[in-house]
Amino acid sequence: MKISMSVNGKPVSAEVETRTLLVTYIRDNLRLTGTHVGCDTGQCGACTIHMNGQAVKSCNILALQAEGADILTIEGLAKADGTLHPMQEAFREHHGLQCGFCTPGMVMSAVDLVNKHPNPSEETIRAELDGNLCRCTGYHNIVKAVKAASAKM
Amino acid sequence: MHAFNYQHPKSVADAAAALSKGGDAKLLAGGQSLVAAMKLRLAAPTDLIDLSGIKELAGIKVEGAGITIGAMTRHAEVARSEEVRAKIPALAGLAGGIGDRMVRNMGTLGGSLAHNDPVADYPAAVLGLNATVNTNKRKIAADDFFKGMFETALQTGEIIVSVSFPVPKRAAYIKFRNPASRYAIVGVLAAETGSGVRVAVTGAASSVFRVAAMEKALAAKWSPDAVAGISVPSAGLNSDMHASAEYRAHLVTVMARRAVEAAK
Ligand SMILES: Cc1cc2nc3c(=O)[nH]c(=O)nc-3n(C[C@H](O)[C@H](O)[C@H](O)COP(=O)(O)OP(=O)(O)OC[C@H]3O[C@@H](n4cnc5c(N)ncnc54)[C@H](O)[C@@H]3O)c2cc1C
Ligand code: FES
Ligand code: FES
């Protein structure tokens, strides 16, 4: 079937099999490999992107469910001149990543979190990030980074 | 995932027609349970009928002494709705505690109820608040809707359109959640409604159920102490690596006491 959507501000369309997952379309068709697949079962949040401004897990959605949608992936977060988004900058500044595998999903989820809860408390950040798993950092610096970014967003 | 045909109808009538075409057609709401099941090939429908384009299934309306919520309303919308938070805070809180923020942005009320996962949260709200499930064919009372594990009163070709929740005098939902999956190990909704006191338990058994002894005690006196000494038998309760049947039975009393306390 034919699908069309906007990804990081650019219109895209393609002929796909109905069973194509959104994450497969993003990674394999569009070659935007910043969106990661960790668990492929909707548990880990590594595949988090924004669909019409809402954070969602792209491994648990069909590409067809995103027909006509505005999609934002980690590649679309920085400015065209390379200036990082405040959330990305804060993750770097506060050492909110180690291996980096969870980071794209963590950052996309955190941006949605701050959009909906401006100036979140540490408790809110921890509660609202529980759909994103990180095997490296112990979360502490991630929470610090989100807190710092929220002051600048 | 097996291949399937995909349809995107614009009305409930068109969706019902597509559903009745034969084959193994299934409705798709948020896909948070169904797409996951299809990936595991636990479900392999021949046709998927996506409900997301049907306007009559969306939205939250205050109607008389209740709130009617469209089947395609996402958990996150219920959680942040001013109307729901003002009139039935227990329901907004329950929706806000489902899964995680990404699941709440996709998952829907209708999908959760039709799926009737034994450990899902919404069934406790529908049964505990004495809600009515409105389908394209009839109105189904909460007491008649949940039939067993992943089983409901819905017939082939029947589509949940909305759910009407009467506003309770007081209500609270407390869940002891599985820290990994976030589903309820045990969740209890205790409510004083226009039609009496209701205590609904999810997570503990094969399907949501009411605890008559607790309801009677709370009708006599609404106080946490009234339920503290009442326990449900552990025989027949769920038992898995997360909690034994005995532990779940214990949790039912503890969650009920906390829910009554919170709904003071
Ligand atoms: C990581 C994760 C954590 C979760 N944690 C929780 C939790 O803590 N608590 C909880 O309660 N749930 C939890 N869920 C489940 C989530 O709430 C699902 O959204 C919900 O169970 C199904 O809703 P859906 O809209 O995604 O339905 P779908 O997956 O699209 O559909 C589910 C079933 O309902 C049928 N259906 C859908 N809409 C209708 C309708 N209008 N009429 C008739 N039949 C219909 C479909 O055909 C299908 O059989 C979790 C899910 C995930 C992935
Ligand atoms: S890859 Fe999507 S949630 Fe883990
Ligand atoms: S930085 Fe390695 S998984 Fe999070």
Residue B208 sits in a domain of what CATH number?
Answer: 3.30.390.50
Cβ pair A62:B102 closer than 8 A: no
Name chain A contacts of B3, Cβ cutoff 8 Å: 17-19
User: Could you tell me which CATH number the domain at A86-150 has?
Assistant: 1.10.150.120
Q: Which pLDDT value is given to residue B164?
A: 98
Does B103 touch chain A if contact means CB atoms closer than 8 Å? yes
- Is B135 within a domain? no
- Is B239 within a domain? yes
Mutate to test the interface with B, among A57, A61, A125 (most CBs of B within 10 A): A57
- Is B115 within a domain? no
| Host H or E run for residue B184 | strand B184-193
Q: Which pLDDT value is given to residue B175?
A: 98
| Domain closes at, from B29, B53, B77 | B53
Q: How far apart are CA A52 and CA A138, in angstroms?
A: 31
Residue B22 sits in a domain of what CATH number?
Answer: 3.30.43.10
Q: How far apart are CA B35 and CA B247, in angstroms?
A: 32
Q: Which atom of ligand 2 is nearest to the CA of A131?
A: 3
Instruction: Count CB-CB contacts under 10 A for residue B97.
Output: 19
| Residue A100 backbone zone (phi > 0: left; psi -120 to 50: alpha; other: beta) | left
- B64 pLDDT band, cuts 50/70/90, is confident
B142 DSSP 8-state letter: H
- Is B227 within a domain? yes
Name chain B contacts of A48, Cβ cutoff 8 Å: 102
Q: Which pLDDT value is given to residue B21?
A: 85
Judged by DSSP in three states, B202 sits in strand
Average of pLDDT values for B66-76? 98
**B162 is written with which tokens?**
């909305």
- Is B142 within a domain? no
CA A112 to centroid of chain Cα atoms:
9
Chain B: residue whose CA lies nearest to A105: B102
CA distances from B236 to A4, A15, B120 (A): 50, 50, 18
Cβ pair B105:A113 closer than 8 A: no
The 3-state secondary structure of A31-78 reads CCCCCCCCCCCCCCCCCEEEECCEEEEHHHCEHHHHCCCEEECHHHCC
Average of pLDDT values for B174-200? 95
Positions of CATH 1.10.150.120 in chain A: 86-150
Cβ pair B101:A1 closer than 8 A: no
**A16 is written with which tokens?**
């796909």
Which residue in B77, B107, B7, B94 sits closest to B49, CA to CA? B7
Name chain A contacts of B8, Cβ cutoff 8 Å: 64, 67
Mean of pLDDT over chain B: 96
Cβ pair A61:B2 closer than 8 A: no
Closest by Cβ to A17, choosing from B3, B28, B182: B3
Average of pLDDT values for B114-132? 98
Name the pTM for this structure: 0.96
Partner A, chain B 11-50, Cβ-Cβ below 8 Å? 28, 31-32, 35-36, 38-39, 48, 50
- B181 pLDDT band, cuts 50/70/90, is confident
Torsion angle of the four alpha carbons A91, A60, A73, A99, in this order, in degrees rounded to the nearest 10: 30
Ligand number with the minimum distance to the CA of A44: 2
Q: H helices within B65-222, ranges in order?
A: 75-80, 82-87, 89-96, 101-106, 109-115, 122-128, 142-145, 212-220
Q: How far apart are CA B185 and CA B124, in angstroms?
A: 13
Q: Does residue A127 line the site of ligand 3, with CB under 6 A?
A: no
Over chain A (153 residues), what is each successive 10-residue block's mean pLDDT? 97 97 98 97 97 98 98 97 97 97 98 96 96 96 98 94
Q: How far apart are CA B235 and CA B239, in angstroms?
A: 10
Task: Please answer whether residues A142 and A134 qualify as being in contact, where contact means their C-beta atoms are separated by less than 8 angstroms.
Answer: yes
- Is B200 within a domain? yes
Largest pairwise CA distance in chain B:
57
Is it the case that residue B23 has pLDDT exceeding 90?
Answer: no
Q: How far apart are CA A35 and CA A106, in angstroms?
A: 10
Write the ipTM: 0.96
Residue B173: partners with Cβ closer than 8 Å, 6 or more residues away: B90, B91, B93, B94, B97, B121, B124, B125, B128, B187, B188, B189, B259
- Is B183 within a domain? yes
Does A118 touch chain B if contact means CB atoms closer than 8 Å? no
Chain B: residue whose CA lies nearest to A53: B105
Q: How far apart are CA A23 and CA A131, in angstroms?
A: 17
Chain B: residue whose CA lies nearest to A45: B102
**End-to-end Cα separation, chain B, in angstroms:** 48
Is it the case that residue B180 has pLDDT exceeding 80?
Answer: yes
Is it the case that residue B22 has pLDDT exceeding 80?
Answer: no
Q: How far apart are CA B256 and CA B199, in angstroms?
A: 8
- Is B140 within a domain? no
Positions of CATH 3.10.20.30 in chain A: 2-76
As for how many domains chain B has, the answer is 2
Average of pLDDT values for B243-263? 98
Q: How far is A153 from chain B (nearest CA, A)?
A: 20
Does A62 touch chain B if contact means CB atoms closer than 8 Å? yes
Give the domain range for residue B6.
1-53
User: Could you tell me which CATH number the domain at A2-76 has?
Assistant: 3.10.20.30
**Ligand 1: distance of its center to the CA of B263 in Å?**
27
